[in-house]
Amino acid sequence: MTEISDQTGSPQPSDLLPVTIEEEMRSSYLAYAMSVIVSRALPDVRDGLKPVHRRILYAMHESGFTHDKPYRKSARAVGEVMGKYHPHGDSSIYEAMVRMAQSWSMRVKLIDGQGNFGSVDGDSPAAMRYTEARLAKASTFLLGDIDRDTVDFQPNYDESESEPTVLPAAFPNLLINGATGIAVGMATNIPTHNPGEVVDATLALIARPDMTLEELMEIVPGPDFPTGGTILGRSGIRSAFATGRGSVIIRAKAEIEEIRKDRKAIVVTEIPYQVNKATLQERIADLVRSKQVEGIADIRDESDRSGMRVVIEIKRDATPEVVLNQLYRFTQLQTSFGVNMLALDGGKPRLMGLKDVLEAFIAFREEVILRRSRHDLNKARDRAHILVGLVIAVANIDAVIALIRAAPDAATAREALMAAQWDAADVEPLLALIHDEGNVVVDGKVRLTEAQARGILELRLQRLTGLERDKIQSELSEVAVRINELLEIISSRPRRMEVLCEELSRARAELVTPRVTDITDYDGDQDDESLIEPGQMVVTITREGFIKRTPLDVFRAQNRGGRGRTGAGTRGDDIVVRSFNAHTHQWVMFFSSGGKVYRQKVWRLPEAGPAAKGRALVNLLPDLGTDTITAVLPLPQDEELWESLHLIFATASGGVRRNRLSDFRNIRVSGMIAMKLDEGDSLIGVATCREGQDVFLATRKARCIRFQITDDTVRVFAGRGSSGVRGIRLAEGDRVISLAVLNHVEATVEERAAYLRMANAKRRAENAADTEDDAETPVVDTDEDEAATGTEALTPERFAQLEAAEEVLLIVSDGGFGRRSSAYDYRVSGRGGQGITNMTFSANKRGTEVAATLPVLPGTDVMLVTDAGRLIRVPVDQVRIMARQASGVTLLRLNDAERITSVFPVMDDGEDDAGEAEDAANSAPQPPTDGAGSAL
């Protein structure tokens, strides 16, 4: 052979060949990877065991450490495994052995341990020299018939012993006890299942091989973990059973108990699989210290040998349900088990579903029964063959004795027995019965085989008695029956399936236990709302668009005359323009001038203290852009009430539209279009309404209209894509600036006129003389239905009725003048008209347009803002109530060219008593927009 030289020119031995480092690394790594996959990390689908577990069980079986024998030192079993079968460290063997003895790790224990084998708290087991162990009874079904040629054997690591390549498992151990392992480039994570359910599913699949997954899941609804708990949802289970991969959410079992008067506690009795109880308690303590979870007063472990009991004591002012939901979210009281059913099938890794695993087990178990039957058949035939020889000897006993006595030694006697021809009259039917082809009958004579001759020579004299001769015949008959049974099993698959079902039923009787893990329906991830403590909040919005929520109990009640406290922090001329009370779980709707609607739960609004400024709405509502928020509507917490409520929309061009509130039940986080607007138009207001109430629209050019909400005037629109119908016909250059919903009062023209006359007289009698600035501008109403002033006075009862139902509007002009007017001064007409006069602009008073028209309540204040940035706060009680066409009184003295741009009601600013502020927030009107239609 030609020598090979290296790069230096030196000759190399002729038996060496050069290889590239890439090729060598690839082949070596693949060899290492397959060794880890096959020989260490992945279980076999047939017996559900990894090599180390299989070797432990087999070594203990061979050493006689069975369930019916006394316990033996664990170190003795580990030494047997390490010395004969598993060439690894004793610690890894002992760890695997300990796990098979832990009731919280295995659904069915395979090792019966005595001593400290660890705990669910993660405590380490005692050293193996202190603990004792033996095979559990369940292991009998894994190791049974292993000596009857049911499985293949292979040499051990030094070829001094033989070990089984797989155990002849009589039940689907892979599904029942699960497996966990990390190989090279792959991993397995198989959950445990209820043994009774798994065996029942196997029996059902044997009876009906075409069963669907849904039918199998009626028998095996899901995993059954030894530590109990609750599985949330079934979609993850179905995915795992169908494809071999899925995610199962496991939640601890916890109950809320009253441990003493006015004190409740969360009592945890079961935790998710593979969760360390001690680590879980440490995590809860860390969350309490970091104040991520509040409301926990104490945590203690009251677990004992009777069961698990972790008590989490709740503070008096906390809600146990909320605390429990927070613990589910932030601790391992709720975990996710990633199912990855990867196992070795035919020596190759395979991802299998539920039906695949059961089918592989059935095929393996059928092979075990077939091999065992063949082995037993050979044994039975050998025994029957010997018994036939004994029958021949007994039938010819005198000749046999004479032949043996004449022989000088045993070998000669054996040869003589084999050479002689014996009468086959009695044995010929037996040979056909046992299917024995070892003896050939010729002319009624038969020769003995060597095995039969040896059996005759070993025959004891007592077997020649009559009773013993009968026993030989009886045993031969029994063996004949056994042979025929085995031949039937070997030749008939249905018969093998019957045997398989019988053996599965016997195993089930020993293994069956009640299910400990519950399965409940679950829609998806836990809602964040369940983590929020329920309570009342005060929501405030400033003129510059900052919003926040503050717990109502922060504003403590004060006696009358107190100094109060700051309700909202503002900057510069910013001021609170809207405030309302709402529950943390209540919805709030935000409408933009561009016709878009957003929806947020109150608890999602930024929480801040009384003096904090809050957060800008533009950062809270996505895609708001340059639009402004024109309406904020807190919705009823009871969503069933939404069916009876409607929304009324108004645009600057005079359009209105009515929709059911329930049409806006599903609003995306990014918002959605609430109303289709024409180019140049804008949404100026949205309000909730009911059938029969009145819509009031006011324009900048001092026109207004009031019409009742009915199906004839404003029908309910089915969709959100419509621009609605005309609410008021506008003059050139005019636009709607205000929307209000007023209560409809049934009163005739004469009754309204009489009420206004009597109410004016009452107010004149109560007030002092007017100043020159307070002089009312006399105006005669030119509307036909208002021309008849009426002469009859109302009865005191009727007057009181109308007075109780009276609503008051504030009208402010851009020139700084304003007045209040009774809503009775505005007649109810049809929709779509030009409306009636809302204010008259006199020559001697500044102002040419209406800046705002809004409902007001007695005792409230309004804020007037000018284009020069000046603000003035005016109590509405200081504004005279006048006729509808009056120009009003001076509210703010303006400089030249200065105009009022917006008017809005002033909410609690911190200077009033906190209790009074709460009442005002609950009862104050909620106008959808400010006077100019700009952002709140």
Query: How many whole angstroms separate alpha carbon 819 and alpha carbon 815?
Result: 13
Is 778's pLDDT higher than 50?
A: no
Burial grade of 488 (CB within 10 A; 0-12, 13-18, 19 or more): middle
State the chain's mean pLDDT as an integer.
84
Model confidence at 195, pLDDT cuts 50, 70, 90, reads very high
Q: How many other CB atoms are there within 10 angstroms of residue 778's CB atom?
A: 8
**Looking at residues 91-117, what average pLDDT do you find?**
95
CB 737 within 8 A of CB 932: yes
Model confidence at 614, pLDDT cuts 50, 70, 90, reads confident
Query: How many whole angstroms separate alpha carbon 812 and alpha carbon 888?
Result: 8
* Residue showing tokens 């579903």: 353
Of residues 95 and 439, which shows the higher confidence score?
Answer: 95
Model confidence at 62, pLDDT cuts 50, 70, 90, reads very high
pLDDT at 840: 87
pLDDT at 504: 96
pLDDT at 197: 96
Of residues 380 and 438, which shows the higher confidence score?
Answer: 380
Q: Which residues contact 367 (CB under 8 A, 6 or more apart)?
A: none
Q: Which residues contact 643 (CB under 8 A, 6 or more apart)?
A: 660, 661, 662
Query: How many whole angstroms separate alpha carbon 419 and alpha carbon 431?
Result: 19
Is 860's pLDDT higher than 90?
A: no
Is 339's pLDDT higher than 70?
A: yes
Q: Cα–Cα distances in Å, from 41 out to 182, 187, 245, 358, 394?
A: 6, 8, 18, 21, 60
pLDDT at 345: 93
pLDDT at 917: 36
* Residue showing tokens 């045997």: 499
Of residues 242 and 464, which shows the higher confidence score?
Answer: 242
pLDDT at 442: 67
Please state whether beta strands 871-875 and 836-837 pair in parallel, antiparallel, or not at all (unpaired). unpaired
Q: Which residues contact 836 (CB under 8 A, 6 or more apart)?
A: 703, 704, 705, 783, 826, 827, 829, 884
Please name each of the domains of the chain with its CATH number: 49-168 (3.90.199.10), 253-332 (3.30.1360.40), 378-507 (1.10.268.10), 534-923 (2.120.10.90)
Model confidence at 512, pLDDT cuts 50, 70, 90, reads very high
450-465 burial, b if ≥16 CB within 10 A, otherwise e?
eebbbbbbebeeeeee
**Looking at residues 32-52, what average pLDDT do you find?**
85
pLDDT at 930: 35
pLDDT at 145: 93
**Looking at residues 903-913, what average pLDDT do you find?**
57
Model confidence at 564, pLDDT cuts 50, 70, 90, reads very low
CB 205 within 8 A of CB 218: no
Host H or E run for residue 920: helix 914-923
Greatest mean pLDDT among 26-40, 246-260, 450-464, 709-723 lies in 246-260
Residue 533's Cα: distance from chain center in Å? 20
Is 784's pLDDT higher than 50?
A: no
Is 7's pLDDT higher than 70?
A: no
DSSP, res 41: I
pLDDT at 916: 38
130 is catalytic: yes
Give 845-859 pLDDT, tens digit per residue: 677 889 999 999 888
**Looking at residues 221-229, what average pLDDT do you find?**
95
Is 81's pLDDT higher than 90?
A: yes
Give 394-412 pLDDT, tens digit per residue: 878 888 888 888 888 888 8
63, two tokens = 């050493």
**Looking at residues 431-441, what average pLDDT do you find?**
68
370, two tokens = 């077939």
Q: Which of 29, 32, 130, 157 is catalytic?
A: 130
Query: How many whole angstroms separate alpha carbon 589 and alpha carbon 597?
Result: 7
pLDDT at 13: 63
Q: How many other CB atoms are there within 10 angstroms of residue 87's CB atom?
A: 10
**CA 447, 452, 456: angle at the middle one, nearest 5?**
110
667, two tokens = 């609003």
Burial grade of 616 (CB within 10 A; 0-12, 13-18, 19 or more): middle
Burial grade of 269 (CB within 10 A; 0-12, 13-18, 19 or more): middle
**Looking at residues 702-717, what average pLDDT do you find?**
89
Give 628-680 pLDDT, tens digit per residue: 888 888 888 777 778 788 899 999 999 999 988 888 888 887 788 888 888 88
Residue 308 identity (one-letter amino acid):
M
Least confident of 184-188, 347-351, 719-723: 719-723
529, two tokens = 């709302």
Q: How many other CB atoms are there within 10 angstroms of residue 378's CB atom?
A: 12
Is 892's pLDDT higher than 50?
A: yes
Model confidence at 425, pLDDT cuts 50, 70, 90, reads low
Burial grade of 384 (CB within 10 A; 0-12, 13-18, 19 or more): buried
Is 74's pLDDT higher than 70?
A: yes
pLDDT at 622: 73
Sheet holding 310-314, edge to edge: 253-260, 263-270, 310-314, 296-301
* Residue showing tokens 């089918």: 359
173, two tokens = 């151990």
Model confidence at 907, pLDDT cuts 50, 70, 90, reads low
229, two tokens = 């708990």
pLDDT at 785: 41
Q: Which residues contact 183 (CB under 8 A, 6 or more apart)?
A: 33, 36, 37, 40, 41, 42, 349
